[in-house]
Amino acid sequence: MPRSIAPRPRSTMPNPRRRFLQALAALPLASALPALADEQMDAIHQRRRLIIAVYNNFAPYSDAGQGIDADIGKALATKLGLTPDILGFKAGEDMGDDLRNMVWKGHYLRGEPADVMMHVPVDPVLAKENDKVHIFGQYHVETMAMARIPSLVSAPVGSAATALEVFTREKIGVEGETLADAYLLSTMNGRLRDNVVHFQSITEAGAALRNGSIAAIMAPRGELEGALHGETRFAIDETKIGGMMSTRWPLGMAVKAEATDLAAALTSALAELERDGTLAAIFKRHAVTQQKA
């Protein structure tokens, strides 16, 4: 999954716009596109495709070109009268790496960056640390949560000593190298370490919860809902544990800092998806509760 958030060079000469108006006249596009465009928007018009970066192996948000983020990207492209081109990529060490490789610079193996990257935390600190991108367009608020067997584990509320003491006896699953992993290994002076079980994905952790080899999973709520869709044996609760940082974070998208017209067009298209119910339908289709605040 995407790692910690604390997570094409272009000419500086004036853009002559070339024959943009003639190209625009020949290409029927949705009204959300601006009449004039920055250099990137010009290139998008000419190729008639919107290249959308999404994480690989990140169900239910994006996996093999499918999922919530991929579907939102496709819907945005359609609103703009463009063909969606989904570009999957593997998460880097942190969000800064991902923004560099997929938004503003590109990667020596992957090539040129995408037009827009999905599932970017809309966070002022992240934005300040990555001034070559523009982060905007919140479409969901993710929360840290716990899926649990109710007869074994109570709702995760209160101090760590109260909420997590059960995991000195019961096992809890996490995806490796994530916020939940780091927190559980360090809290309570490391007393839970022996009972924290690591998995490659929340899908794998969900299978372990189903077969009873673990009693709970800590992970973002959307991932838990996607992995446990259709199950009635488990409770999923937001974690409200004292001292735990970063339990809620808004998600949006990112484009190059100078791609102001593209950002404006995507903002307008996202608002339309919200108004016409498309956004809510996408979350419902993937069995995830859309949270707006």
Contact 115, 84 (CB under 8 A): no
239, two tokens: 């974690």
SS3 for 238?
A: strand
Question: Residue 67 pLDDT > 90, yes or no?
Answer: yes
Whole-number average pLDDT of the chain: 88
Question: How does pLDDT run across 196-239, given as a tens digit for each residue?
Answer: 999 999 999 999 999 999 999 999 999 999 999 999 999 999 99
279, two tokens: 């956004």
Percent of the chain whose predicted confidence (pLDDT) is above 70: 86
Q: Which domains does the chain have, with CATH numbers?
A: 34-141+250-285 (3.40.190.10), 142-241 (3.40.190.10)
Question: Residue 17 pLDDT > 90, yes or no?
Answer: no
The answer to which of 6-15, 130-139, 258-267 has the lowest mean pLDDT is: 6-15
Question: Residue 11 pLDDT > 80, yes or no?
Answer: no
Alpha-carbon span 250 to 265, nearest angstrom: 20
Supply φ then ψ for residue 111, to 5 degrees.
Answer: 90, -150
Instruction: Name the residue with tokens 């709702």.
Output: 155
Alpha-carbon span 264 to 255, nearest angstrom: 11
Long-range contacts of 14-22 (CB under 8 A, 24+ apart): 15/39, 15/42, 17/42, 18/42, 20/45
Q: Pick from 11, 93, 13, 111: which is nearest to 53 by CA?
A: 111
Residue range 249-257: mean pLDDT, rounded? 97
Q: Pick from 182, 229, 220: which is nearest to 201 by CA?
A: 220
Give the pLDDT score at 23.
36
H/E stretch holding 126 = helix 124-129
Contact 112, 37 (CB under 8 A): no
Band the pLDDT of 25: cuts 50, 70, 90: very low
Band the pLDDT of 41: cuts 50, 70, 90: confident
273, two tokens: 């998806």
Question: Residue 134 pLDDT > 90, yes or no?
Answer: yes
Band the pLDDT of 8: cuts 50, 70, 90: very low
SS3 for 70?
A: helix
